[in-house]
Amino acid sequence: MSRFDSVDEVVEALGEEGYIADTRLATTVFLVTRMDKPLLIEGPAGVGKTELAKAMAKISGRRLLRLQCYEGQDETKALYEWDYGKQLLYTQILREKIGQVVADSPDLQDAVERIGAQESVFFSERFLASRPLLESVRSKEPVVLLIDEVDRADEALEAVLLETLAEYQVSVPEVGTFVAEQPPYVVLTSNNTRDLSAALKRRCLHLFLDYPSAQRELAIVKSKNTGLPDALAAQLVDVVRGLRELELRKAPSISETIDWARTLAVLGVTELTAGILSDTASVVVKYDKDVRKAVSALPRLVDPNAEVPEHDHGHGHGHGHGHGHDDSEVDGRAVRAGKDEPGRHDDGYYRTKDPDEPAPEPSTPRKVTADRGARSFGANLGRRRAL
Ligand SMILES: Nc1ncnc2c1ncn2[C@@H]1O[C@H](COP(=O)(O)OP(=O)(O)OP(=O)(O)O)[C@@H](O)[C@H]1O
Ligand SMILES: [Mg+2]
């Protein structure tokens, strides 16, 4: 396993794997490799949070384990499950043998007792299906554990994560406690759709990844071999940065800059004009209203001396909405609002929400049942045994 002696070495190693880091980012990565602390990366979509965890796995020569979090996920998907199919298969193959064990039982009670005495055979490591958290502590080789989009998980799962990360151990009541021989590098990412607990934040090194500087973004675009000449790429990066200044519902991310560069290269563009950028703007802005805002700002962004028309209101601008004065009709706001999951976009984090819209009703917190999150740790041992 590589061990880095300096922050510069980390910058270099990440660069070799195609991840362009500045010293602030590399310093945090360096610290993760030296202190057994998880890293929590927060920031808007598409700024390289997930990619950093992948790059860390590559530069350290470690296997990457990924736990993708989602709403309603329970801890069995994070810790472990019993492999029911395998247990069933074994009992069928061993039917005769099992029959012999209970063959001379005088009554049902006695037969159940005898089978019960054999229970540990079926609740042994052989039938344990490890999920990423258990796998990360059980693995013989050190790993990088990516807990992606942790803000999407419920508080109950967050509590389970906290327990695991505190000790780098997982208890399986029927088998015992697994402790990591080598603590994994743990990377948690969050888009901040909800606040994470103070306890989780306290345990972690924290990195806020924002949109990069123009210089770093250009380096990233160049490193992707998009086919767009460097001079145009530099100009494009400035245009995207200009778009980020607008009050858009969803600001363009690094991945969208890369996509735009690729698109323009495919079209064989040799000069960036407001016209070609407008025609391809939907590569970087994904909401109708954002597209209109972007299109009206592009002439100014391409050429600061250009005459910029007043912000238009949807009349005859070629987007198929030249019919109405009712803005909510024009931008399909009602339709989108209906599709948005509750609790997702209500804080307007990172300008993902339309800033012109009124604040929504606060969403009701999701209810979590008492048994969620209570699995696999000491306090629960009695209950599991009694099952
Ligand atoms: N520093 C970087 N060096 C190289 N490529 C980068 C960098 N940052 C971002 N990228 C590019 O941007 C893309 C998006 O990054 P990534 O998927 O990691 O974003 P994210 O922050 O995890 O977004 P989300 O919150 O939507 O999951 C990557 O596939 C990668 O190509
Ligand atoms: Mg991601």
**Chain segment 112-152, per-residue pLDDT in tens:** 999 888 888 889 999 999 999 999 999 999 999 999 999 99
Out of 88-102, 256-270, 364-378, least confident range: 364-378
Q: Is pLDDT at 376 greater than 90 in this prediction?
A: no
Return the number of other C-beta atoms located less than 10 Å from residue 321's C-beta.
18
Rounded Cα distance between 313 and 296, Å, is 11
Pocket test for ligand 1, best of 24, 47, 64, 237 (most atoms within 8 A of CB): 47
User: pLDDT category, 2, cuts 50, 70, 90?
Assistant: low
Sign of the CA dihedral with 65 first, then 71, 77, and 83 last: negative
Q: Is pLDDT at 339 greater than 70 in this prediction?
A: no
The reported pLDDT for the residue numbered 120 is: 87
* Ligand 1 mean position, distance from CA 314 (Å): 33
Q: Is pLDDT at 153 greater than 60 in this prediction?
A: yes
Pocket test for ligand 1, best of 50, 207, 222, 262 (most atoms within 8 A of CB): 50
The reported pLDDT for the residue numbered 386 is: 35
Average pLDDT over residues 342-369: 48
The reported pLDDT for the residue numbered 361 is: 53
Using the atom order of ligand 1, give the atom closest to the CA of residue 14: 3
* Ligand 1 mean position, distance from CA 219 (Å): 13
* Ligand 2 mean position, distance from CA 64 (Å): 14
The reported pLDDT for the residue numbered 48 is: 95
Question: Is 3 strand, coil or helix?
Answer: coil
The reported pLDDT for the residue numbered 337 is: 45
Q: Phi/psi of residue 171, each to 5°?
A: -100, 130
- Widest CA span of the chain, in angstroms? 97
The reported pLDDT for the residue numbered 3 is: 82
Using the atom order of ligand 1, give the atom closest to the CA of residue 21: 1
Using the atom order of ligand 1, give the atom closest to the CA of residue 25: 1
Answer yes or no: are the C-beta atoms of 283 and 291 closer than 8 Å: no
Q: Looking at the CA of 66, which ligand is closest?
A: 2
Within 6 Å (CB) of ligand 1, which residues are found? 18-20, 45-51, 189, 191, 220, 223, 254-255, 258
* Ligand 1 mean position, distance from CA 52 (Å): 8
> Whole-prediction pTM value?
0.77
* Ligand 2 mean position, distance from CA 270 (Å): 33
Pocket test for ligand 1, best of 146, 149, 213, 254 (most atoms within 8 A of CB): 254
Q: Name the burial class of residue 165, with classes exposed (0-12), middle (13-18) and buried (19+) by CB atoms within 10 angstroms of its CB.
A: buried
* Ligand 2 mean position, distance from CA 259 (Å): 16
- DSSP code for 229: -
Answer yes or no: are the C-beta atoms of 146 and 66 closer than 8 Å: yes
Question: 336: which residues sit within 8 A by CB, 6+ positions away?
Answer: 287
Using the atom order of ligand 1, give the atom closest to the CA of residue 41: 21
- DSSP code for 322: T
Rounded Cα distance between 83 and 85, Å, is 6
Q: How many CA atoms lie within 13 A of 303 on its CB side?
A: 10
What are residue 169's DSSP bridge partners? 179
User: pLDDT category, 307, cuts 50, 70, 90?
Assistant: low
The reported pLDDT for the residue numbered 193 is: 87
Using the atom order of ligand 1, give the atom closest to the CA of residue 209: 21
Q: Phi/psi of residue 104, each to 5°?
A: -105, 25
- Chain Cα centroid distance, residue 80: 20
Angle of the 95-102 helix axis to the 84-93 helix axis, nearest 10: 70
Q: Are strands 143-148 and 63-68 parallel, antiparallel or unpaired?
A: parallel
Nearest to 350 by CA among 47, 49, 44, 48: 44
The reported pLDDT for the residue numbered 119 is: 86
Dump pLDDT digits (tens) for 83-100.
999 999 999 999 998 888
Sign of the CA dihedral with 196 first, then 201, 202, and 203 last: positive
The reported pLDDT for the residue numbered 359 is: 53
The reported pLDDT for the residue numbered 190 is: 95
Dump pLDDT digits (tens) for 170-217.
999 999 999 999 999 999 999 988 888 899 999 999 999 999 999 999
Q: Which residues surround ligand 2, an ion (CB under 5 A)?
A: 50
Rounded Cα distance between 156 and 271, Å, is 53
> Atom 20 in ligand 1: which residue has the minimum CA distance?
46
Q: Looking at the CA of 193, which ligand is closest?
A: 1
> Atom 24 in ligand 1: which residue has the minimum CA distance?
45
* Ligand 1 mean position, distance from CA 211 (Å): 10
